[in-house]
Amino acid sequence: MNGRFPPKDMGILRAEWRIHACELDDIALIQKSLEWLSGIDDCVVWKKDKSFHGPPISTGMVKIGRKKLARESLGRLGSETLQQLLSDGLEKRIDDDKNMHLRISLSKLVKGEVRLCTRDRSEAFVKGLFKIESYPGDNHLEIATELVRSMT
């Protein structure tokens, strides 16, 4: 990162939360949880579709286009979860397009808790995607690490 630290509002350009729900899920409760996670009321866009196996499925999506709100949404994960992201290694979560991916437990979220999903368990989850703000010459992994560290 050329010895520079990112400005307070730098680090995340935008964010997105996505959930797939079936007819049996409590859509209103999931929506309320996604609104809390994003920090924005009435922000969930629902799309009805058919699953691979045929039953109806709803996809809920929240797109956060403002940097400040995207950063605040990441902060809503809480210190414990952010520390876990750091200890697990952010390099595993960042793709070539400078997106940081994470999955949090849906069952915990609707109870007001935020916990990362583990890879060895199959559970319902909310997928988060955070676009890292970096420019030529910047190291996006360093920017993301410094950002998450500053939030813990």
pTM (predicted TM-score): 0.87
9, pLDDT greater than 60? no
Burial 92-114 (b: 16+ CB within 10 A, else e): ebbeeebbbebbbbbebbbeeeb
- Report all structural domains of the chain as residue ranges with CATH numbers, in order of start: 12-151 (3.30.1440.10)
Handedness of CA 76, 145, 82, 106 (dihedral sign): positive
CA 48 to chain centre: 22
The Cα 28–Cα 38 span in angstroms is 15
| Mean pLDDT estimate for the chain | 89
80, pLDDT greater than 50? yes
